[in-house]
Amino acid sequence: MSGAAHSDRKRRRPGEQVERLRSENRRFSAALDNMSQGLVMFDEDSRLILRNRRYLELYGLSPEIAKPGCTLRELIAHRIETGSFSAADPEQYIAGLMAALGRGDTVNDVVELSGGRTIAVSSRRMPCGGWVATHDDISERMQAEEAAAVARLRANKAERQGRAAHEFLNTVIENVPATLIVRDAHNGRYVLMNQAGERLYGVSRDQMIGKTPHELFPRAEADAIVARDLEVLESGQPLIVDALTVHTPGKGERVVKSKRLKIVDTDGAARHVLSFVEDVTERKKAENRIAHLAHHDPLTDLANRAAFSEHLTSMLVEAEASKRPFAVLCIDLDRFKEINDVFGHAVGDALLQEVAQRLRNVANGEFLARLGGDEFIVLSGGGPQPANAAGLAERLLASFAEDIDIAGHRLRIGLSVGIAVYPSDGDDAATLLANADAALYRAKAEGRGTLRCFEPDMDKRLRERRALQQDLRSAVAQGELVLHYQPKAVIGGEIVGFEALVRWRHAARGMVPPDGFIPLAEESGMIMQIGEWVLREACREAASWDKPLQIAVNLSPIQFRHGDLAGVVHSILLETGLSPGRLQLEITESVLIGDFSRALAILRRLKALGVRIAMDDFGTGYSSLSYLQAFPFDTLKIDRAFISNLERNAQSGAIVRAVIGLARGLNLPVVAEGVETREQLGFLMHESCDEVQGFLIGQPLSIEAYSRIVGRSPAADTPLASERIMDQPDLEQLLCRLENG
């Protein structure tokens, strides 16, 4: 400083200096009071040196208390009173603050006040001793920062959600089982396709994206795709196309179902065409297969019964309108059951397939169906009837003149055909079928391998047969069945047993012969009930005899195929008390044909009960020696057909002689059935046949006629046995004379 200035300062008056200081203090105080921050200053003894107005405002302090000279503890106590001090322990707070300042640290703290305000406090030592603290209200800044942070979080969350939604949408689109395709609405180019589309079209989406339909598909198909897109764009309505055949680039021809939608932008302008395409090729194939199976026989692929019924109904409607006749041809295979039983179901099925093919070839477009089993039917329309149908039937019969080779087996099979004509033989489906069936029944009854046209009396006979079958269902319950007994004798003349034979005494028809109802019983299944009744009655009757004679009962093959035959026999033996050794069950070889193992198992169970098993009608049918080897039969019965021809046919004698020799070699007793003459008896005696049965010995009669033989006193009104049976002494004398020549 220059000497002149110094001199000038000295010349100033004291009053001026004081005023200048006051002016500076006012400016300093104004500056302090206008600070946005609160300011406090303490000396080394922690006494308040100064504070500004903002500090008082921040904490709501009284200037009379918070004034220079008050201590830190007094100031904190006042803040506690105003609720602006948040530390839990004031002393601990002061100690911590002093320690930090003593180290020269700047102490930063944030105070949360009531009302949601936040104060940032920064305390630091001053070089001259003491310390100064600033108190800054950062509430708005904190709120702004929090709002910004929340906004950032929300933006980040929205971005994450957007990415997740995008990824999720892509995942959904990629895994939708149906093909999803998007094409540009203006140029038709493919802009999106999912992986289902790659599977459908058989090519990578990269080979399709960016291309137009005309670059990928044949022209006609591409034109159709573009036309359908244009229709959706113009109408704005969804377009659904069902069962559309498309030619894909890599998978060939496929059947699809598609739905198209127009996609617009925010301005409503068309932007894209969205297509959902479902590959229904396999489903359509399955539906077609199911529809085919519903109307076709699975074995022969001919029309089945349902399809036949529909076609017949349609033909009836057309025939009624056109007045043109048509014919129904019912066809049955001759001897099919025997072939099926002998060679097995596999050969039987193959035979049915060959039969179907031959019928198809001859039918030449006429409607042909398989109704089931070996039943076929043809609907013949057009031409004069029944001549046209008869000509077709003749050609069908002729097509089976030659043997059929199935799996190395030369099989001969024929047809029986029954014909009914609309409208002369019926003008509705039920009548036509019934009359064609009646004609078929007549053809089979008259020797098979032929055709018959319906005649009015056939209907009567068929109705009678069905009525008889219906009456048979109640025959057992109404007590109309009776048993007749035919005696059986050893070759020496002694009666050793009887065969029980069922008879039907019909309430209106009188006595119905066995061949008139046994086949009906087997067809209807009634043989199960009738067979059990016969077995029980025969055992009950035999158990009442004084003499322990044998009782023989015939079994039907049907009884072996259904139910528990061995269990029924065992139960009846226990119920009636008959000794098992007195019961002989007679079967034919047809029991063993078919399910041989099952039949053999049943026979062994019967044998284990102690009953005797006889092979009946031996010599007819196949007479397989393997049957005799597979099961230990107790008796062989020679069929009556050979016995009746002994006097007229040398071959019959040879066969009878051979059977007796075979049985002797197997140590089996032989029974000859149908012995009616002394000459037949003499032949059998000479050949050492064991037992005989027939009218010469005794006719089938009620057991009362044989009361004397079974050890029972005859009733007074019973005809003498000698009138119906060769008396025992007479039989013995006859055999004696035959033996002596």
- What pLDDT is stored for residue 732 in this prediction? 52
User: Are the C-beta atoms of 634 and 613 separated by less than 8 Å?
Assistant: yes
**176-285 topology per CATH:** Beta-Lactamase (3.30.450)
Predicted confidence band at 729 (pLDDT cuts at 50, 70, 90)?
very low
* pLDDT tens per residue, range 291-349: 888 889 999 999 999 999 999 999 999 999 988 999 999 999 988 887 877 788 888 89
Q: Rounded to whole angstroms, how far apart are CA atoms 52 and 68?
A: 11
Looking at domain 35-131, does it have CATH number 3.30.450.20?
yes
HSE-CB for 173 with a 13 A CA cutoff: 14
Q: Rounded to whole angstroms, how far apart are CA atoms 588 and 554?
A: 9
∠ Cα 420 425 430 (to 5°):
80
**Which amino acid type is present at position 523?**
E
Q: Rounded to whole angstroms, how far apart are CA atoms 184 and 427?
A: 65
Predicted confidence band at 9 (pLDDT cuts at 50, 70, 90)?
low
User: Are the C-beta atoms of 261 and 241 separated by less than 8 Å?
Assistant: no
User: CA dist 39 to 55, 56, 61, 121, 475, Å?
Assistant: 6, 9, 13, 10, 127
* pLDDT tens per residue, range 365-377: 899 999 988 999 9
* pLDDT tens per residue, range 612-661: 999 888 766 555 677 787 788 899 998 888 888 887 888 888 888 988 88
φ and ψ of 686, to 5 deg = -65, -35
Place of tokens 């830190």: 72
Q: Which helix (H) or strand (E) holds 481?
A: strand 481-490
pLDDT cut 70: percent of the chain above it: 91
Q: Rounded to whole angstroms, how far apart are CA atoms 447 and 457?
A: 18
- The residues, ordered by sequence, that sit 6+ positions from 110 with a Cβ below 8 Å of its Cβ are 118, 119, 120, 121, 138
- What pLDDT is stored for residue 420 in this prediction? 92
Place of tokens 């059929």: 404
- What pLDDT is stored for residue 313 in this prediction? 93
- What pLDDT is stored for residue 497 in this prediction? 95
- What pLDDT is stored for residue 289 in this prediction? 83
- Average pLDDT of the chain is 84
Q: Rounded to whole angstroms, how far apart are CA atoms 722 and 717?
A: 14
DSSP state at residue 715 = P
User: Cα 43 vs. chain centroid, distance in angstroms?
Assistant: 99
Q: Which helix (H) or strand (E) holds 182?
A: strand 179-184
Predicted confidence band at 57 (pLDDT cuts at 50, 70, 90)?
confident
Q: Do domains 35-131 and 176-285 have the same CATH topology?
A: yes
In this predicted structure, the answer to whether residue 3 has a pLDDT above a threshold of 60 is no
Of 357, 430, 351, 424, nearest to 389 by C-alpha is 424
Can you list the positions of beta strands (E) in 335-393?
A: 367-372, 375-381
- What pLDDT is stored for residue 583 in this prediction? 96
Structure tokens at 302: 């001919």
- What pLDDT is stored for residue 620 in this prediction? 66
In this predicted structure, the answer to whether residue 490 has a pLDDT above a threshold of 80 is yes
* pLDDT tens per residue, range 421-479: 999 898 999 999 988 988 898 888 777 788 888 887 665 666 667 777 777 887 877 88
DSSP state at residue 492 = T
- CATH architecture for segment(s) 479-739: Alpha-Beta Barrel (3.20)
Q: Rounded to whole angstroms, how far apart are CA atoms 39 and 29?
A: 11
pTM for the structure as a whole: 0.48
In this predicted structure, the answer to whether residue 718 has a pLDDT above a threshold of 80 is no
Flag the least confident range among 158-162, 429-433, 489-493, 651-655. 158-162
Domain positions in the chain are 1-31, 35-131, 176-285, 296-470, 479-739
Q: Which helix (H) or strand (E) holds 461?
A: helix 456-472
Predicted confidence band at 727 (pLDDT cuts at 50, 70, 90)?
very low
Flag the least confident range among 114-123, 419-428, 566-575. 114-123
460 by Cβ neighbours in 10 Å (0-12 / 13-18 / 19+) ranks as exposed
Of 263, 250, 255, nearest to 205 by C-alpha is 250
Q: Which residue has the higher pLDDT, 709 or 650?
A: 709
Predicted confidence band at 385 (pLDDT cuts at 50, 70, 90)?
confident
∠ Cα 625 626 630 (to 5°):
125
Give the pLDDT mean for 119-136.
Answer: 89
User: Are the C-beta atoms of 703 and 541 separated by less than 8 Å?
Assistant: yes
Predicted confidence band at 536 (pLDDT cuts at 50, 70, 90)?
very high
- What pLDDT is stored for residue 701 in this prediction? 93
Give the pLDDT mean for 163-186.
Answer: 80
| 22-32 per-residue burial string, b: 16 or more CB within 10 A, e: under 16 | eeeeeeeeeeb
User: Are the C-beta atoms of 192 and 182 separated by less than 8 Å?
Assistant: yes
- What pLDDT is stored for residue 736 in this prediction? 52
Give the pLDDT mean for 6-18.
Answer: 60
In this structure, the number of other CB atoms found within 10 A of the CB of residue 330 comes to 25
Q: Which residue has the higher pLDDT, 32 or 504?
A: 504
User: Cα 351 vs. chain centroid, distance in angstroms?
Assistant: 29
In this structure, the number of other CB atoms found within 10 A of the CB of residue 662 comes to 16
**296-470 topology per CATH:** Alpha-Beta Plaits (3.30.70)
**Which amino acid type is present at position 9?**
R
In this predicted structure, the answer to whether residue 683 has a pLDDT above a threshold of 50 is yes
- What pLDDT is stored for residue 611 in this prediction? 96
